[in-house]
């Protein structure tokens, strides 16, 4: 009986069980990608929706005077926006350290918690609640998106390992062959772009309180290319009636629940990005090395030549929200149509990000240059288009322009994430590379924050010049890679797991027997002890 129990079982098929095991692993990777995408979509929608609602309410002069009196809410909003836009400038110093020592999954969870903290401060809107939470949001922006890009690329690598589990290099945990997981990077980055770009505006709550365009745009003289700043002459009162405090609390509670839901998704649905031994290896290279490696990666000419595209991506993000949506859209058709403009832009970005799946068959430059081909003519068109204020008949043209701009933005951002996943396949470098990408984006967003008062034609000209420079630098990079020109990658130090105490013990013995430092020894030792014996 014992031999029958310990011997081979006729019903057990080892190969079939192995297939089932790795099938479950692949489904786990898909679950992780969908969880990270849905969590990112929720937290992004909550943040953008709350910020939109908050800035509209705080802009209204009557709302500020009736509800807050002499609190200085307008000044608080300026400092809050400054905290959100200025703080990410120093993110390059701490983001890799946070991702290495907290882990990719826990960094996403922590950043979503900071977004939830930002939502909670709107229950009690004061200087000491709004401004510190805005600074915390600014500090969490780069770590969140860098860890999200790192996580999705790492999931693509894991999926390749589970599909090809029989290969020798996978079983021995060696580096993957060049270009092995590119198709999975393309698919997974397209999935997360499809989810994250869907931004839900606060149409249900705020729309019923907004005045029509005849009131809000009464003193507006110029829109579009002839305008300057946001909207010159925009009315200081935009609300027909003030919302009840209980209704505001209910809306903020719903947003708070959504923020907590994203935290739960990151915590419970998303699995670990690395094995436990890999996590130990990533953290054991030392604080100093982790701090220096982002700067050393900038020696790579591929990253240096992609910096103009990183900057353009950040400029595009904020210009679509402020310049295109406000200076062209709201200035022409009124604030009551803001929800439709934002929704069309979000849905366009979401749907057209699926076009990046064409990279499975086409060269990788198609996505980035395709977005540039769409944005270039649009920028030239916007340089000469100045729609008249209070012209609701221009709404269809505005929706077409915004949808095309969203298509270019989707191809741009998805193409950059895919390109970085293709160029940097080493799992030890992903967090540094994505940190550099989103840090330059944050620098560009800060530049847009500074140029708010510029005339619109100057803004569009800067965007067009940077777009052309980005295309030229990217073409130069691809040409160098086609010539097999070597690029310079910094050496990542080997992890040291051994804690050596014998050197300290030897040094103490040497001091005791030869220099008589401790214990106040006054007499020489009677016995001669050879140094070789002490060292042994």
**Interval 193-223: pLDDT, tens:** 887 655 555 567 787 888 888 888 888 888 8
> 51-83: per-residue pLDDT in tens?
888 888 888 888 888 877 767 777 788 888 888
- What per-residue confidence (pLDDT) applies to 519? 42
C-alpha triplet 470, 471, 473: angle, nearest 5°: 65
Residue 256 tokens read as 């708070």
φ, ψ dihedrals at 288, nearest 5°: -60, -40
pLDDT for 480 equals 93
pLDDT for residue 192 is more than 90: no
pLDDT higher than 70, residue 7:
no
The rounded distance, in Å, linking the Cα atoms of 282 and 237 is 54
Q: 425-454 in b/e burial notation, b at 16+ Cβ within 10 A?
A: bebbbbbbbbbbbbbbbbbbbbbbeebeeb
- Tell me, what's the pLDDT at 110? 93
Summarize pLDDT for 118-130 with one digit per residue, the tens.
Answer: 888 888 888 888 8
pTM of the model: 0.86
CB 141 within 8 A of CB 442: yes
Residue 455, beta-bridge partner list: 228
- Mean pLDDT, to the nearest integer, of 161-184? 80
pLDDT of amino acid 217: 87
Asked if pLDDT for residue 19 goes beyond 50, the answer is: yes
How many CA within 13 A on the CB side of residue 356? 33
Query: Which of the four pLDDT bands, split at 50, 70 and 90, describes residue 237?
Result: confident
What phi and psi, each to the nearest 5 degrees, are found at residue 210?
-85, 140
Distance CA 380, CA 390 (A): 24
pLDDT of residue 506: 54
| Cβ neighbours for 355, distance < 8 A, ≥ 6 positions apart | 367, 370, 407, 410, 411
Beta bridge partners of 228: 455
pLDDT digits (tens, 9 = 90+) for 488-535: 888 887 766 554 444 445 556 555 554 444 444 444 444 444 444 444
| For the chain, percent of residues with pLDDT exceeding 70 | 88
Window from 24-33, 44-53, 163-172, 326-335 with minimum mean pLDDT: 163-172
- Could you tell me how far CA 249 lies from the centroid of its own chain? 29
pLDDT at residue 526 in the model: 41
Rounded mean pLDDT, 463-485: 94
Cα–Cα nearest to 36, from 254, 223, 195, 249: 195
For the chain, count helices (H), then strands (E). 23, 0
- The secondary structure element, H or E, covering residue 25 is helix 14-59
Instruction: Please give the pLDDT value at position 129.
Output: 86
- Could you tell me which residues are beta bridge partners of residue 210? 239
Task: List pLDDT tens digits, range 449-472.
Answer: 888 778 889 999 999 999 999 999
Query: Averaged over 423-428, what is the pLDDT?
Result: 84
- As a whole-number percent, the residues of the chain with pLDDT over 90 amount to 28
Which CATH architecture does the domain made up of 14-514 adopt? Answer: Up-down Bundle (1.20)
Provide the token pair at 219.
């003193």
DSSP code at position 387: P
Q: State the pLDDT at residue 306.
A: 94
Spatial contact of 85 and 137, defined as CB atoms under 8 Å apart: no
The answer on pLDDT for 360 being more than 80 is: yes
pLDDT of the residue at 511: 56
Residue-wise pLDDT for 240-253, tens only, equals 888 888 888 888 88
Assess contact for 474 and 304: CB atoms under 8 A.
no
Tokens of 480: 């160098």
Mean pLDDT, all residues of the chain: 83
């Amino acid at each position: 009986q014992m031999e029958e129990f310990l011997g081979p079982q006729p019903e057990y098929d080892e190969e079939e069980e192995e297939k089932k095991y790795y099938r479950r692993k692949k489904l786990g990777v898909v679950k992780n990608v969908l969880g990270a995408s849905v969590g990112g979509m929720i937290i992004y929608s909550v943040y953008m929706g709350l910020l939109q609602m908050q800035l509209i309410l705080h802009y209204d002069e009557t709302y500020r005077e009736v509800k807050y009196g002499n609190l200085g809410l307008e000044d608080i909003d300026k400092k809050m926006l400054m905290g959100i836009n200025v703080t990410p400038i120093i993110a390059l110093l701490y983001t890799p350290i946070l991702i290495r020592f907290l882990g990719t999954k826990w960094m996403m969870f922590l950043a979503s918690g900071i977004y939830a903290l930002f939502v909670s401060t709107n229950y009690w809107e004061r200087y000491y609640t709004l401004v510190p939470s805005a600074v915390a949001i600014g500090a969490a922006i780069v770590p969140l998106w860098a860890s999200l890009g790192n996580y999705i690329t790492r999931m693509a690598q894991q999926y390749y390992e589970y599909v090809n589990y029989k290969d020798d290099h996978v079983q021995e945990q060696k580096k993957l062959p060049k270009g092995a997981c590119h198709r999975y990077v393309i698919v997974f980055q397209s999935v997360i772009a499809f989810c994250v770009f869907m931004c839900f505006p606060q149409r249900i709550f705020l729309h019923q309180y907004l005045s029509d365009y005849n009131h809000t745009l009464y003193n507006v003289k110029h829109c579009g290319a002839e305008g300057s700043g946001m909207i010159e002459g925009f009315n200081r009162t935009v609300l027909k009636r003030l919302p009840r405090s209980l209704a505001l609390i209910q809306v903020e509670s719903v947003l708070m629940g959504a923020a907590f839901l994203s935290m739960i998704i990151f915590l419970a649905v998303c699995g670990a990005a690395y094995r436990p031994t890999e996590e130990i290896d990533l953290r054991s290279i030392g604080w100093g090395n982790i701090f220096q490696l982002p700067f050393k990666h900038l020696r790579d000419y591929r990253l240096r030549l992609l910096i103009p595209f990183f900057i353009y991506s950040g400029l595009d993000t904020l210009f679509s929200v402020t310049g295109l949506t406000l200076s062209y859209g709201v200035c022409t058709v009124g604030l009551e149509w803001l929800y439709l403009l934002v929704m069309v832009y979000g849905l366009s970005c979401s749907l057209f990000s699926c076009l990046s799946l064409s990279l499975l068959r086409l060269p990788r430059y198609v996505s980035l240059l395709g977005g540039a081909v769409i944005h270039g003519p649009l920028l030239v068109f916007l340089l000469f288009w100045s729609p008249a204020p209070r012209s609701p008949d221009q709404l269809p043209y505005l929706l077409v322009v915004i949808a095309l701009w969203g298509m270019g933005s989707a191809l741009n951002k998805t193409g950059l994430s895919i390109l970085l996943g293709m160029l940097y396949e080493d799992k030890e470098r992903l967090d540094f590379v994505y940190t550099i990408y989103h840090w330059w984006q944050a620098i560009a967003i800060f530049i847009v924050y500074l140029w708010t008062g510029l005339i619109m034609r100057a803004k569009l000209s800067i965007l067009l010049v940077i777009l052309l420079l980005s295309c030229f630098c990217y073409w130069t990079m691809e040409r160098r890679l086609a010539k097999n020109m070597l690029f310079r990658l910094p050496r990542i130090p080997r992890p040291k797991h051994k804690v050596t105490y014998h050197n300290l013990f030897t040094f103490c013995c040497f001091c005791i027997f030869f220099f008589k430092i401790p214990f106040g020894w006054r007499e020489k030792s009677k016995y001669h002890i050879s140094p070789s014996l002490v060292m042994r």
